Amino acid sequence: MRAVVITGYGGPEVLQVIEVPEPLPGPGEVLVDVVSSALNRADLLQRMGLYPGPQMEHEVPGLEFAGRVSAVGEGVTRWSEGDEVMGITGGAAHAERLVVHADQAVRVPVGTPLEMAGALPEVFITAWDALVLQGGLREGGTALVHAGASGVGTAAIQLCGMLGATVVVTASAGKVARCLELGADRAVDYTSQDWVSVVAEATDGRGANVVLDVIGGDYLDRNADALAVGGTIMQVGLMGGGKATFGLGKLLSKRARLVGTTLRARSLEEKVALSRAFEDRVVPGFEDGSLQVVVDRRYPLADIAEAHAYMETNASVGKIALDVTAG
């Protein structure tokens, strides 16, 4: 089968699409013929040697997939050959076939083509988990979401709307309008506006109940300024750097929490539980029209290096999808 392989750590040129051995499903696993996948920032970091993936003979990136079950392992009763599934995985999704635990696969929303579904799981599961399951956001609450035009950001905006929560996002000037179109209550150009003040204005001075931050770096101290009493900062990425100067006293006075989180490092049991909660609570939102996956561009698997280079420009809004069956 064809798969994207990281042949060495560096720029997009280290990625090659080559033939590798096909995986076989073991007990409790399913083999999926992958139709589509997508890029995530973690794929770029893994390519550069900064975010190690699971041990395998050929290092194949890819954290999400959509496709059809082509074989089931011993003991699997949840799925049958031909079923359409999607989900998250620790790696190896940028390939024509993928083996995953049967309980980690999720049904594809009715009406969502497999070509779109591969760009859905990672960002919506990440945003739902951070905002709701860990952050505790509820109806009537307020979230501050950084990088509102990113994959996670576009998912978070819509999830807040589905919850009935207010959402303030930050974005570059050229992406502010798109964030508002997706349902953001306020969209702040971070290059020219003070988002702490905008959050205060939007909440009558109370602050945000949850801050969803993929930036890190010097945002941390201002996140605490924007936070409500009893609020939570969810750190899900470090695009702006992994070091920060931070006044810890702000957490004390606000009785606040700072939580770091990632999906790849979690146990299988945690991922299964998260996938089940996502299927029950979020997947129906795609079926009733509350949610949509936002895709900026699509690339065939053979153009994976070009797709990585485009992501590095930071020009995209939403996801960069991969058509695995397109050549």
- Note the pLDDT tens digit of each residue in 152-196: 999 999 999 999 999 999 999 999 999 999 999 999 999 999 999
pLDDT band of 265, cuts 50, 70, 90: confident
Closest C-alpha among 114, 112, 104, 146 to residue 127: 146
Please report where in the chains the tokens 């003979």 appear, as a residue: 57
C-alpha pair distances (Å), 318 with each of 149, 179, 193, 206, 304: 6, 10, 22, 30, 17
pTM of the model: 0.96
Q: What is the pLDDT of residue 247?
A: 84
Please report where in the chains the tokens 């083999």 appear, as a residue: 31
Same domain, yes or no, for 78 and 143? no
C-alpha pair distances (Å), 236 with each of 135, 148, 157: 12, 13, 16
Report the C-alpha gap between 148 and 151 in whole angstroms: 8
Please report where in the chains the tokens 């109370």 appear, as a residue: 206
Same domain, yes or no, for 282 and 213? no
Q: Which token pair is 250?
A: 């702000």
Q: Which residue range(s) make up the domain with 200?
A: 123-260
Decide: helix, strand or coil at residue 138.
coil
Same domain, yes or no, for 228 and 317? no
Report the C-alpha gap between 170 and 95 in whole angstroms: 34
Same domain, yes or no, for 130 and 242? yes
Say which CATH number the domain at 204 has: 3.40.50.720
Same domain, yes or no, for 46 and 88? yes
Say which CATH number the domain at 105 has: 3.90.180.10
Same domain, yes or no, for 116 and 127? no
Same domain, yes or no, for 238 and 304? no
- Domains held by the chain: number: 2
Residue type at 42 in one-letter notation: A
Tell me: pLDDT of 266 over 70: yes
Tell me: pLDDT of 208 over 70: yes
Same domain, yes or no, for 99 and 127? no
- Taking only the tens place, the pLDDT of each residue in 3-60 is 999 999 999 999 999 999 999 999 999 999 999 999 999 999 999 999 998 888 899 9
Q: What is the pLDDT of residue 43?
A: 97
Tell me: pLDDT of 315 over 80: yes
Tell me: pLDDT of 85 over 70: yes
**How many Å from the N-terminal Cα to the C-terminal Cα in the chain?**
12
Task: Please work out, in degrees rounded to the nearest 5, the angle formed at the alpha carbon of residue 234 by the alpha carbons of 165 and 182.
Answer: 40
Q: What is the pLDDT of residue 326?
A: 65
Q: Which token pair is 57?
A: 């003979």
Which among 260, 282, 299 is the end of a domain? 260
Report the C-alpha gap between 18 and 79 in whole angstroms: 29
Mean of pLDDT values over 199-216: 97
Based on the number of CB atoms within 10 Å of its own CB, is 166 exposed (0-12), middle (13-18) or buried (19 or more)?
A: buried
Same domain, yes or no, for 66 and 136? no
Same domain, yes or no, for 79 and 170? no
